[in-house]
Amino acid sequence: MSSESDVPTTPSDPLYYGLAILVGLAGGAAGSAFHLLVERLSLWPEHLVGAVGRGPLTYALSAIVSAAMVIAALYLVRRFAPEAGGSGVQEIEGAMEGLRPVFWRRVLPVKFVGGVLALGSGLVAGREGPTIHIGASIAAGVSETLRLGRTDSRGLLAAGAAAGLSAAFNAPLAAILFIIEETRRQFPYTFRTYMAVIAAAAASAVVTEAISGASPFLAITAGEMPLWSLAAFALLGAVLGVVGIAFNRCLILSLDAVRAVSLRAPYLPAAVVGGAVGVLVLALPEATGGGERLLVRLIGENLPLALLAAIAVLRFAGTMASYSIGTPGGIFAPILALATAIGLAFGGVMAALAPLPDSAAAAFAVAAMGGLFTATVRAPLVGIVLVAELTGTYALILPVIVTCGVANVVADRLRGRPIYEVLLERTLRLSGATAPPIPDAGPTSPVGIDNPSPPVSGR
C-alpha cells in the first residue's frame, strides 16, 4: 500500500515552466563554467613550452602530463560514476525510456571534473556531451527533490539536456530541435513538456550570452553560392553519408577493442592515448582537442590538399581513440572539425574542376559540418540549424539543406543507424538490461530507474 509521500507531485503549468527556466539557468551557468575551465586548462602546453622550451624533454613531460590528466579522469569515472563516461546523450535517452538511471549526485561532479581533465588534456572530444549530461543531471536533481511524476520528470530531463546543448554552442534553436528530432522516441510530447524545453534552452542561452557574448560561437564569413553549385553540394553529401557510416562503425569497433584490453589492463589504453596526445599537442596541435578553434583556423589558412587529408585522417583516428577509452567527452565537436577538413579538401578539388567564388571553400566546409553530423546522428534538421547558429552563415542554408538531405538518404540506404541509438543498445547489452520501460515506480527512485540495472557505461 502506497503512503501519501509516495504520490508524485504535479506542479501547475506556471510552476513547471519556472522549474524549466531554473534548470536552464543552472545548466547555462554550469555549461559556461565548464567551457571556460576547459579553455583555461587547455593552455598548459603553452606554459610548459614557456617554462622548459622545446626539445625532447618537453615532449616527454608533455606526454606525462597529458597521460596523467586522462588517467585521473578515467579513475573518477571508474571509481565513482561509470555512467559518466563518454558522451552521456545515450544515457539520457535511456533514462527517458526508463532503462537507465540518472544518479545525478555522483554524475554531476564526475562529469564536470572528469570532463575538464579529459578535454583539457588535449583529447579529441567535445564538451557538448558533458554539458548535455550535466544539464540533464541538474534536471534529475530537481525532479527527485520535488518528487515529480514520470511524465514531468522525463520532460524536465529533456529540458535539462537542451539547456546543456544550448550552453555548449550558444545554439538554443538547435538544442530544441535536438530534443524534437533526436529523442523523438523517448520525449513525452505534451504542451507543457514541449514549452519547458523551449524555456530551458532560452534561459541557458541568456546565461551563455551574458558570459560569452551574442556573436556566433564559430563566426565564419561565407557568401552565397550559385545555384548550379548545388550539384557539387549533393555530391559532398553523398561522400559524407559514406564517411558517417564508417565513423559510426569504427567508433563501436574501437569501443569493443579498448574494452577487451581494459578488462586485462584497465588504465593502459588511457595511458597510451594520453601520452600520444601529449606529444601531438606540441608536434601537431591541429590533430588534438575538440576542434572548435581549429575550424575557423583551417578555413582561413588555405592549406594544401595533402595536409587537409592528413588532418582529417588524424582527427578521425584521434576521435576513435579518445572516445573509446571511457573518459567524459562528446563527439559533436570532433565531427564538426573532421567535416571541416573534408569539406575544405572537397572544395579544393571542385575549385580545380570549375570556377567558384572566393568563399566556396568556406561554404563547402560549413555544409560538410551539417552533412557529417546528419550522417552520424541522423538528425538533419538539427544539423542544418546547428551549423547556421554556430557559424552565422545563414546565406548558405540551401546548400546546407542539400548536403544534409543527401547525406541522410545515403546513410539510410547504407543501413546506417543513429549513433546514440547504437550506443544506447550497447550500453544496455553490457549492463544486462533488456526489458522495456514499465509504469512509474514512484518518485523516490532515481530518475529513469524503472528497471534498475548495473551502472555499466557503454559510452
AA letter at 162: A
The torsion angle over the Cα atoms of residues 250, 252, 253 and 255, rounded to 10 degrees, is 120
- Partners of 328 in beta bridges: 86
Give the pTM: 0.91
Q: Please, are residues 455 and 431 in contact by the beta-carbon 8 Å criterion?
A: yes
Q: Please, are residues 160 and 128 in contact by the beta-carbon 8 Å criterion?
A: no
pLDDT at 229 over 70: yes
The per-residue pLDDT for 436 is 46
The answer to whether residues 58 and 135 belong to one domain is yes
The answer to whether residues 306 and 340 belong to one domain is yes
Tell me how many domains the chain contains: 2
pLDDT at 118 over 50: yes
Cα maximum dimension of the chain: 76
Asked which of 174, 198, 217 is the last residue of a domain, the reply is 217
C-beta neighbour count of 452 within 10 angstroms: 15
The per-residue pLDDT for 330 is 93
Confidence of residue 433 (pLDDT cuts 50, 70, 90): low
AA letter at 34: F
Residue 125 lies in a domain: yes
The per-residue pLDDT for 221 is 80
The per-residue pLDDT for 259 is 95
Q: Please, are residues 379 and 341 in contact by the beta-carbon 8 Å criterion?
A: no
- Over range 3-27, report the average pLDDT: 88
Calculate the alpha carbon distances from 47 to 42, 275, 279, 387 in Å. 10, 18, 15, 33
The answer to whether residues 233 and 297 belong to one domain is yes
Q: How far apart are CA 39 and CA 376, in angstroms?
A: 26
The answer to whether residues 180 and 315 belong to one domain is no
The per-residue pLDDT for 6 is 65
Residue 4 lies in a domain: no
Confidence of residue 454 (pLDDT cuts 50, 70, 90): very low
Spatial neighbors of 117 by CB under 8 A, at least 6 apart, are: 41, 69, 70, 72, 73, 76, 327
Residue 327 lies in a domain: yes
Q: How far apart are CA 408 and CA 405, in angstroms?
A: 5
For the segment 251-282, what is each residue's pLDDT rounded down to a tens digit? 999 999 999 999 999 999 999 999 999 999 99
The per-residue pLDDT for 176 is 96
Least confident residue range of 122-136, 331-345, 407-421, 438-452: 438-452
Residue 351 lies in a domain: yes
| Residue, of 289 and 63, whose pLDDT is higher | 63
The answer to whether residues 144 and 235 belong to one domain is no
The answer to whether residues 107 and 137 belong to one domain is yes
Confidence of residue 295 (pLDDT cuts 50, 70, 90): confident
Asked which of 388, 405, 420 is the last residue of a domain, the reply is 420
- Over range 313-331, report the average pLDDT: 95
The per-residue pLDDT for 458 is 53
Residue 332 lies in a domain: yes
The answer to whether residues 148 and 39 belong to one domain is yes
| Residue, of 294 and 331, whose pLDDT is higher | 331
Residue 427 lies in a domain: no
Q: Please, are residues 256 and 427 in contact by the beta-carbon 8 Å criterion?
A: no
AA letter at 185: R
What percent of the chain has pLDDT above 90? 73
| Residue, of 8 and 59, whose pLDDT is higher | 59
Q: Please, are residues 287 and 314 in contact by the beta-carbon 8 Å criterion?
A: yes
- Over range 168-196, report the average pLDDT: 92
**Over the chain, what is the mean pLDDT?**
90
Confidence of residue 437 (pLDDT cuts 50, 70, 90): very low
Q: How far apart are CA 36 and CA 348, in angstroms?
A: 35
The per-residue pLDDT for 442 is 39
Q: How far apart are CA 411 and CA 409, in angstroms?
A: 5
For the segment 340-375, what is each residue's pLDDT rounded down to a tens digit? 999 999 999 998 888 888 788 899 999 999 999 999
The per-residue pLDDT for 369 is 96
Least confident residue range of 129-143, 182-196, 235-249, 409-423: 182-196
**Cell digits of residue 146:** 520535488
Residue among 82, 78, 123 at smallest CA distance from 329: 123
DSSP string, 160-225: HHHHHHHHHHT-HHHHHHHHHHHTTTT----HHHHHHHHHHHHHHHHHHHHHH-SS-TT-------
The per-residue pLDDT for 291 is 80
Q: Please, are residues 179 and 139 in contact by the beta-carbon 8 Å criterion?
A: no
Q: Please, are residues 17 and 196 in contact by the beta-carbon 8 Å criterion?
A: yes
Spatial neighbors of 43 by CB under 8 A, at least 6 apart, are: none
Residue 63 lies in a domain: yes
The answer to whether residues 280 and 199 belong to one domain is no
Range of the domain at 357: 227-420
The answer to whether residues 275 and 376 belong to one domain is yes
Spatial neighbors of 4 by CB under 8 A, at least 6 apart, are: none
Residue among 162, 159, 171 at smallest CA distance from 336: 171
Q: How far apart are CA 280 and CA 275, in angstroms?
A: 9
Confidence of residue 82 (pLDDT cuts 50, 70, 90): very high
Conformational region of residue 303, where left means phi above 0, alpha means psi within -120 to 50, and beta covers everything else = beta
What percent of the chain has pLDDT above 70? 93
Angle between helices 191-212 and 128-146 (to 10 degrees): 130
Asked which of 182, 217, 252 is the last residue of a domain, the reply is 217
The per-residue pLDDT for 238 is 98
pLDDT at 430 over 80: yes
The per-residue pLDDT for 434 is 57
The per-residue pLDDT for 449 is 38
Residue among 33, 34, 26 at smallest CA distance from 290: 34
- Over range 63-89, report the average pLDDT: 96
The per-residue pLDDT for 219 is 79
pLDDT at 164 over 80: yes
Residue 107 lies in a domain: yes
The answer to whether residues 280 and 399 belong to one domain is yes
Which residue blocks in 263-331 are alpha helix, DSSP H? 268-283, 292-301, 305-324
Q: How far apart are CA 341 and CA 66, in angstroms?
A: 25
DSSP string, 7-39: SPB---HHHHHHHHHHHHHHHHHHHHHHHHHHH
The answer to whether residues 116 and 235 belong to one domain is no
pLDDT at 446 over 90: no
AA letter at 205: A
The answer to whether residues 213 and 231 belong to one domain is no
Q: Please, are residues 419 and 244 in contact by the beta-carbon 8 Å criterion?
A: no
- The CATH number that applies at residue 66 is 1.10.3080.10
